[in-house]
Amino acid sequence: MWKKIRYRLEWLALKGAAKIIPRLSRKACFGLAQVTGALAATVDRAGRRVALNNLQVAFGDGLSADRRAEIVRQSYQHFARTMLDLFWSPRLTSQNISQCVEIKNMEQWRDELKPGRPVIFGCYHYSNFEWMSHVVGFSGMLSSIIAQEFKNGLLDPIFVRLRETAGHRVVAREGAVLHLYKALRRKGRVAILVDLTIPAQLPTVAINCFGLKTSVTFAHAWLHQATGATMINAHCEPLPGGRYRVVFHPRMEIPAGASVQEIAQACWDQFEPFVRANPAPWLWMYKHWRYRPLAANPAAYPFYANVSPEFERRLEESAKKLEPMSSTLTLGAVP
């Protein structure tokens, strides 16, 4: 009964936010995000601990304790901006979005972005990743995008409506790869967040991320192999005054016969330099390294990282270039 009441209260709160936030000015929305983000960084002790430890293992002694604390606060503020801006997005149109977001390097993909050319957009949880989707949509490049359902199913219709503001089609995570495959076969476009850590028992590959191993999706890599669709990576970065810039990455050099693990690694390798140069807009409070290799020094990984037989299998597949989820590695008792 309490869960039902809580779910209903969450739904009412978000319904109210969906009505109130679009009435705010851009300046007010930006200011509110700065305040709520800073507050969240203070009260969310568990998330703050994760974020600080993530920064420690990623950058080592390259960042002082004060700088790490500053980045954590800014990371919360960037995420607050992203969420508040998502609720403000019904006010965006194809005519006014250029006042809020500028685009960089899209001209290099002019031919690939013509109608009738299948495209896989590789995106990242960096700065306002929600509005990056809107920029692409309002530019006439409608896509199918994956969205994970909430435990509170009452919230899903609210977020689906907001994410479809620019005309995209939101696809539920369950069975999503098949939906995306069909969309690409119809010469459509799809978008996938490729930096999401996924449980190693699910279809994943192990890649290097800040010199540490992590388990990520290979859906984008498999779809590229299966359909021949062009892969285009892009991210959103903050600008002064609450504005943003969507940056399209250069073409990836994918050798013939590259494995899905190698393709997934190449996608991350294009993005990591941007995070190193400006770490604050990434989601540092997220558990990016849920596993650590059995042979690794535990101190090199975050406190929350666990040893997993399934992750050891993903590591073997990566090292031996085996097909994903094909390892039969047998392990003894894992601590």
The answer to whether position 204 is within a domain reads yes
The answer to whether position 80 is within a domain reads no
**CA nearest to 78, candidates 272, 251, 284:** 284
Structural domain boundaries, residue 116? 92-320
In the numeric block, which tokens belong to residue 33? 């995000």
Number of domains in the chain: 1
Which neighbouring-strand residues pair with 122?
Answer: 192, 233
The answer to whether position 233 is within a domain reads yes
Residue 8 has pLDDT above 70, yes or no: yes
In tens, the pLDDT along 308-333 reads: 999 999 999 999 989 999 999 887 65
The answer to whether position 158 is within a domain reads yes
The answer to whether position 60 is within a domain reads no
Which neighbouring-strand residues pair with 145?
Answer: 170, 191
Residue for token digits 């965006």?
92
Answer yes or no: are the C-beta atoms of 184 and 228 closer than 8 Å.
no
The answer to whether position 7 is within a domain reads no
Please state at what angle helix 45-59 crosses helix 65-88, rounded to 10 degrees: 120
Residue 172 has pLDDT above 90, yes or no: no
The answer to whether position 228 is within a domain reads yes
Residue 148 has pLDDT above 80, yes or no: no
In the numeric block, which tokens belong to residue 226? 């299966």
Strand 189-193 versus strand 119-123 pairing type:
parallel
In tens, the pLDDT along 96-132 reads: 999 999 999 999 999 999 999 999 999 999 999 999 9
Query: What pLDDT, on the 0 to 100 scale, is given for residue 290?
Result: 97
The answer to whether position 247 is within a domain reads yes
